[in-house]
Amino acid sequence: MIRGYAESENPFPALGLYAEMHGLGIESDTHTYPFLLKACAKLMAVKEGEMVHGVVVRNGYEELVFVKNTLLHFYSSCGLAENAYKLFELMCERNLVTWNSVINGFSINGRPNEALTLFREMSFEEGVKPDGFTMVSLLTACAELGALALGRRAHVYMAKVGLHDNLHAGNALIDLYAKCGSIWEAYKVFNEMVVRSVVSWTSLIVGLAVNGFGKEALKLFGDLEREGLLPSEITFVGVLYACSHCGMVDEGFGYFKRMREEYGITPKVEHYGCLVDLLGRAGLVQEAHKFIQDMPLQPNAVIWRTLLGACTIHGHLTLGEAVRARLLQLEPKHSGDFVLLSNLYASERRWTDVQKVRRTMLKEGVKKSPGHSLVELQNCVHEFVMGDKAHPQTEQIYKMLEEIMKKLKLEGYVPRTSNVLADIEEEEKENTLSYHSEKIAIAFALINTAPKTPVRIVKNLRVCQDCHIAIKLISKAFDREIVVRDRSRFHHFKGGTCSCNDYW
DNA sequence: GTAGGGTTAG
């Protein structure tokens, strides 16, 4: 019974049954724990899982590799990669599932570097051969880092050991190439797949959309329908995202209607979020506000933040302030909201208000999350932060930055300082030569790669307006294609223009 | 005869 529930869509009753069993004085055996932990993992029931962990230890089943592996999986899927790793370190017997569980724990919890390190340890030091599961975690880690060369190597390896036909690994490859901005390689993987699932289609649709190929994403969705496949709610998130980033307002609402009526999918807050963005981006800010007020779900912070973003782009000061007040109630210390509000005031040239926002931030101890940019070079991922001086090539990098600035000024570039808050740390450091991390990363890449090679950067925050203008000019002045993945989407810079059409 | 994987609005 417990097994049945644990493996079903609603594993909740499994926990109740266990409690009942416990109450009747029936002891669990080694067959029960894995299913219980599976249920806890699915439900993210941390407390219950930790309790089961305690029982496992008390009954002396801790050293059984099967049981321990489910514990690793439980902690990993509840966002507690560290707990999983601690257990892993103490294990005397490990098998492939053990390695996969702990690697995946790091990979899905935003610690891709640790996932890669463990993968190397597993395959090069311990000589354990990876399987499809391992490759999915590895590719996910590469995708997060934007490590294209490393991902390609994994792809080659998969072909060599016969894992290239694995459906899940194939899907992870599509996602990898899309998240590295190499959408044509994603297409290639998709086209060569022996078996595809709706996830394969969805991954490519989402990948096309975030890379700025909205029309192609919608075309692919059409192909999916012609094949008679059933799109999922995530497919529709991709479709609606494509519409909002291409300004296709009517089409977006058309798909939303079809999602509900033809496919019977109940829209979630993510779908409403896309539509708020769709209206807001298109300048229909009042309509977006009305849409939020009329939606049947409770709007969350992301919904209001989307509207605040639209107010900032289109200069709706009064509404923006009202939305900001709501966000203060929902998430008072979200640094991004302070930045948005400040940009809103800056766009209206209200400098006193900009200063006020800054002072509040300092007073409340709200720190802007530090931006960093990643560049991959010869299978190594280099990280740069604003004003970075830690890299061994610092001297060369800053010389290059000077050269870049000289060239850009000839092209008519004037540094844009209206995003005052974006430079808050810069001012604190009182360092006039403190460049944003993406500029440093680009200088580093220009030094270390052959002319005309594309430059790829992954940034954890959104690229600021000043850097966006500068990178457009760099792509022209240095004749380089520059691909920047920021927090929200891709920017493909080439010959002085960007694929986002300055709209992001 | 009990364990693990892919896509999600700002």
Q: What are the pLDDT digits (tens) for A30-50?
A: 888 999 999 999 999 999 999
Give all strands of the β-sheet with A380-385 in edge-to-edge order: A380-385, A372-377, A455-459, A482-485, A490-494, A497-498
How much is the pLDDT for A367? 85
Note the CA–C1' distance, A29 to B2, in angstroms: 10
Nucleotides of B under 7 A from a protein CB: 2-10
Nucleotide showing the shortest C1' distance to residue A33 CA: B2
Report how far residue A190's alpha carbon sits from residue A204's, in angstroms, rounded to the nearest whole number. Answer: 8
Overall residue count recorded for chain A in this entry: 504
Q: Which two tokens stand for residue A254?
A: 């058309």
Nucleotide showing the shortest C1' distance to residue A179 CA: B7
Query: Does residue A140 contact residue A106 with C-beta atoms inside 8 Å?
Result: no
- Chain A residues 276 to 335 whose Cβ lies within 7 Å of strand B are 277, 300-303, 305-306, 309
Note the CA–C1' distance, A170 to B7, in angstroms: 12
How much is the pLDDT for A418? 54
Query: Does residue A483 contact residue A455 with C-beta atoms inside 8 Å?
Result: yes
Judge if the beta carbon of A166 is closer than 7 A to nucleic acid strand B.
yes
Q: Please give the sequence-ordered ranges of beta strands (E in DSSP) within A187-275, or none if there are none.
A: none
SS3 of residue A373 by DSSP: strand
Note the CA–C1' distance, A91 to B10, in angstroms: 41
How much is the pLDDT for A379? 82
How much is the pLDDT for A112? 95
How much is the pLDDT for A411? 87
pLDDT in tens, A455-492: 999 999 989 888 999 999 999 999 999 999 999 899 99
Judge if the beta carbon of A66 is closer than 7 A to nucleic acid strand B.
yes
How much is the pLDDT for A286? 96
How much is the pLDDT for A362? 87
Q: What is the Cα gyration radius of chain A?
A: 25
The ranges of chain A with pLDDT < 70 are: 417-434
Q: Which two tokens stand for residue A127?
A: 């000589």
- Neighbouring residues of A221: CB distance < 8 A, sequence distance ≥ 6: A201, A205, A231, A235, A238, A239
pLDDT in tens, A173-193: 999 999 999 999 999 999 999
